[in-house]
A and B are shown apart, each in its own frame.
Chain A
Amino acid sequence: MDIPILKQGNCLIASVQPALTDTGLLQLQENLLMLTSKYRSHGVIIDVTVLDVIDSFTSRTLRDTVYMLKLRGAEAVIVGIQPDMAFALVQLGITLEGVKTALDLEEGLALLER
Chain B
Amino acid sequence: MAEKERQLLPTVAQPVLDGKNLELLREWVVRLGTRHTELHEDWVRRITANKLLTSMTKEEIHDETTTIYERWVSILEEGSYQALHTYIQSLSAWIIPREVAPHEMIGLMLILRDVFGKTLLEGYLSDFDLLSRMLDAYEPVANGIINTVVASFIQEREHVTQRLQRAVHELSTPVLQIRDRLLLAPIIGGLDAERARQLTNQLLHAIRDYRAKVVVIDVTGVPSLDSRAANYLVQTVAAARLLGASVIVTGMAPVTAQTLVNLGVDVNSMHTVGDLQGGIEEASRLLTKDHPGG
Q: Which residues on A are within 8 Å of B, measured CB to CB?
A: 79, 81-84, 86-87, 89-91, 95-96, 101-104, 107, 110-111, 114
A69→B290 CA distance, assembly (Å): 24
**Could you say which residues of chain B place their CB within 8 Å of the CB of A90?**
235, 238-239, 242
Q: Looking at the complex, which one of B200, B211, B213, B290 makes contact with A87 (CB distance below 8 Å)?
A: B200
Are A87's CB and B208's CB within 8 A? no
Chain B's interface size range is: 20 to 34
Q: Pick the residue among B201, B211, B290, B291 that contacts A83 (CB under 8 A).
A: B201
Chain B residue, CB-CB nearest to A81: B242
CB neighbours (8 Å) of B235 from chain A are 87, 90-91
User: Which residues of chain A come closer than 8 Å to B239, judged between CB atoms?
Assistant: 83, 86-87, 89-90
CB of A95 within 8 A of CB of B243, answer no
How far, in angstroms, from A95 to B269 measured CA to CA in the complex?
12
Measured CB to CB, the closest approach of chain B to A79, in angstroms, equals 8
Counting CB contacts under 8 A, is B247 at the interface?
A: no
Identify whether the interface residues of B are mostly helix, strand, loop, or mixed. helix
Q: A53 → chain B, closest Cβ, in Å?
A: 14
Q: Assuming the A-B contacts A86-B239, A87-B239, are A102 and B204 also in contact, with contact meaning beta carbons closer than 8 angstroms in the complex?
A: no
Give 10 closest A-B pairs by Cβ, nearest first: A83-B204, A102-B244, A86-B239, A86-B242, A103-B244, A90-B238, A90-B239, A90-B235, A87-B239, A83-B205
CA distance A104 to B34 in the complex (A): 82
Within 8 A of A (CB), among B232-260: 235-236, 238-245
Are B211 and A89 touching (Cβ within 8 A)? no
- A sample of 10 cross-chain residue pairs with beta-carbon separation below 8 angstroms, ordered by A number, consists of A79-B244, A82-B208, A84-B204, A86-B204, A87-B204, A90-B242, A101-B242, A103-B244, A111-B244, A114-B290
Known: A83-B201, A90-B235, A91-B235. A103 touches B207 (CB 8 A): yes
Are A89's CB and B244's CB within 8 A?
no
Besides A79-B244, A84-B201, 16 new A-B residue pairs in contact (Cβ under 8 A), listed by A number: A84-B204, A86-B204, A86-B242, A87-B200, A87-B236, A89-B239, A89-B242, A90-B242, A95-B238, A96-B242, A101-B244, A103-B207, A103-B244, A107-B213, A107-B244, A114-B290
